[in-house]
């Protein structure tokens, strides 16, 4: 079968890696995959290098951008022409913008054919993956309502399967926001190449040596694009509160804060860090392409997002046996594990009013710098707890988030759709044959 996969842009982040892994992994005797992408705009880092490393050469549509634009009409037309050329069995869109233009172009491809006149539009299946969603914390209320209306319409008219990457995301998108029917949804978690993180202990010193960090220093890192929804401002506020509350050290450890990633907010965030007096405590490293080196160097990974699907940074952190502290948003709640209670009562003790301890990390309420600071202080002071969380997290990722499992799940989804399409074709043929027989019988009776 032929799969045409569409994403708005290959910018730094989990969705870009996801589509590259799927395109490369589903390129065999049974599947032919084509990846379509737009251009990464100024201010965002491009992951085209990642596609090249995996032998994937995406076809670029320059007009496909993140924001709504008059050029979207041209993008839709070009996608339609591409579908005519490629004749896909499955059109699989990823992220909001690609999901909109891709599915509209797919509707044109389905119905703009002469066979439609005799009731035979082109046969193929639509799949859309939500890596996150834009139903809160991205835009104003009016714009959000418009986008939600569009998503509901596309789910009804142009989607056979809706893929979500966590159970919590399903509960939000289908249950809370009313997109799609429950029967359309499939939960397929992300997958990563866990092999690159093998022997992470041997690489722990590499970035720490770059930074001049001693073994007793505690490095707290946040990894991700410097954009509004990631809410790095909260990370800086928490760091300032931590310094004010505990000074430069916590229990003789020097706690240092590391920001890995780049984006259009970098200058603003650097200015904010300076205003907060964090010159010595915080370091902006920009984008790095060596997660196998920088995750082991960190002692704690932080996430301060307002909205998430399933954050790849936390999955990769756990793959390197790193504990995390994160705002309890989106798919984060599905990565935390069991809540501290009888099972972990001997090692997990926290203030449920401010932060909550789980198997793999600590959760806090969004926009609560005080709770974030207190939860971090608890982790910093409890090295044994960090090691136990990290060990459990690594085992959890190895069992549930491998790239091989992702490819198997997606292959099963595609084959299921192919079987449904074949069955539908057979039933349609039987129905047509029955109609012909009835018409013939009626004619003979008349004669």
Residues 94-146: pLDDT tens digits? 998 999 999 999 999 999 998 888 888 999 999 999 998 878 767 788 888 98
| CATH number for domain 195-394, candidates 3.30.70.141, 3.90.1640.30, 3.30.830.10, 3.40.50.2000 | 3.40.50.2000
CB atoms within 10 A of CB 321: 21
pLDDT tens series, the chain, 447 aa: 999 999 999 988 889 999 999 999 999 878 999 999 999 888 788 899 999 999 999 999 998 877 778 889 999 999 999 999 999 999 999 998 999 999 999 999 999 998 888 888 999 999 999 998 878 767 788 888 988 999 999 999 999 999 999 998 999 999 999 999 999 999 999 999 999 999 999 999 999 999 999 989 999 999 999 999 999 999 999 999 999 988 755 554 689 999 999 999 999 999 999 999 998 899 999 999 999 999 999 999 999 999 898 899 999 999 999 999 999 998 899 999 998 764 544 444 445 468 999 999 999 999 999 999 999 999 999 999 999 999 999 999 999 999 999 999 999 999 999 998 788 666 666 665 665 566 556 555 555
CB atoms within 10 A of CB 444: 8
Q: What is the pLDDT of residue 445?
A: 58
Number of H helices, E strands in the chain: 15, 15
CB atoms within 10 A of CB 270: 16
Q: Mention every residue, 6+ apart, whose C-beta is less than 8 A from residue 232.
A: 222, 224, 226, 259, 265, 269, 304
φ, ψ dihedrals at 222, nearest 5°:
-120, 135
Q: What is the pLDDT of residue 347?
A: 47
Mean pLDDT over each residue of the chain, to the nearest integer: 89
Question: What sign for the dihedral angle of Cα 227, 231, 234, 235?
Answer: negative
Q: What is the pLDDT of residue 254?
A: 87
Q: What is the pLDDT of residue 12?
A: 85
CA-nearest of 335, 288, 296 to 198 is 296
d(CA 179, CA 114): 32
φ, ψ dihedrals at 230, nearest 5°:
-80, -15
Q: pLDDT (tens digit, 9 = 90+) per residue, 151-190?
A: 999 999 999 999 999 998 999 999 999 999 999 999 999 9
Q: What is the pLDDT of residue 350?
A: 47
Domain chopping of the chain, boundaries: 2-191, 195-394
d(CA 157, CA 174): 16
Q: Does domain 2-191 have CATH number 3.40.80.10?
A: no
Q: What pTM was computed for the model? A: 0.85
Instruction: Yes or no: say if 15 and 131 are a contact pair by the CB < 8 Å rule.
Output: yes
Structure token digits, residue 135? 């139903």
d(CA 285, CA 272): 16
CA distances for 232 relative to 207, 226, 238, 260, angstroms: 22, 7, 10, 11
CA distances for 33 relative to 55, 66, 411, angstroms: 12, 23, 12
Residue 265 DSSP symbol: T
């Amino acid at each position: 079968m032929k799969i045409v996969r569409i994403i708005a842009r290959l910018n730094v982040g989990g969705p870009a890696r996801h589509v590259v892994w799927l395109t490369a992994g589903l390129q065999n005797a049974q599947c032919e995959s084509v990846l379509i992408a737009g251009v990464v705009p100024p201010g965002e880092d491009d992951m085209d290098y990642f596609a090249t490393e995996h032998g994937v050469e995406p076809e670029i549509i320059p007009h496909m951008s993140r924001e709504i634009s008059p050029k979207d009409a041209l993008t839709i037309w070009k996608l339609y022409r591409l579908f005519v050329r490629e004749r896909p069995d499955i059109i699989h869109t990823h992220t909001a913008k690609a999901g909109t233009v891709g599915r509209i172009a797919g509707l044109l491809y389905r119905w703009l054919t002469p066979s439609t006149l005799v009731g035979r539009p082109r046969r193929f299946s639509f799949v859309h993956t939500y890596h996150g969603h834009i139903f809160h914390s991205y835009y104003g209320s009016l714009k959000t309502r418009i986008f939600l209306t569009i998503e509901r319409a596309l789910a009804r008219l142009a989607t056979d399967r809706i893929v979500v990457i966590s159970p919590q995301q399903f509960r939000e998108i289908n249950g809370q926001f009313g997109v799609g029917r429950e029967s359309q949804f499939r939960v397929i978690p992300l997958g990563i190449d866990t092999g690159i993180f093998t022997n992470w202990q041997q690489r722990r010193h590499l970035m720490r040596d770059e930074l001049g960090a001693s073994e007793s220093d505690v490095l707290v890192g946040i990894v991700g694009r410097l954009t509004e929804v990631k809410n790095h401002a909260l990370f800086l506020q928490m760091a300032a509160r931590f310094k004010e509350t505990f000074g430069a050290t916590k229990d003789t450890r020097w706690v240092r804060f590391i920001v890995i990633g780049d984006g259009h907010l970098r200058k603003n965030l650097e200015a904010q860090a300076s205003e907060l007096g964090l010159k010595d405590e915080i370091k902006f490293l920009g984008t790095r392409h060596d997660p196998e080196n920088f995750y082991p160097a960190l002692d704690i990974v932080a996430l301060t997002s307002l909205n998430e699907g399933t954050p790849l940074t936390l999955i990769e952190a756990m793959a390197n046996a790193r504990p995390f502290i994160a705002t309890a948003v989106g798919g984060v709640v599905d990565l935390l594990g069991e809540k501290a209670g009888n099972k972990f009562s001997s090692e997990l003790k926290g203030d449920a009013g401010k932060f909550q301890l789980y198997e793999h990390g600590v959760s806090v309420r969004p926009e609560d710098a005080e709770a974030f600071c207190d939860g971090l202080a608890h982790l910093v002071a409890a090295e044994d707890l960090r090691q136990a969380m990290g060990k459990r997290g690594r085992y959890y990722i190895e069992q549930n988030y491998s790239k091989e499992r992702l490819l198997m799940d997606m292959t099963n989804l595609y084959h299921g759709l192919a079987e449904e399409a074949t069955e539908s074709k057979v039933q349609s043929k039987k129905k047509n044959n029955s109609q012909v027989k009835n018409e013939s019988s009626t004619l003979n009776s008349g004669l």
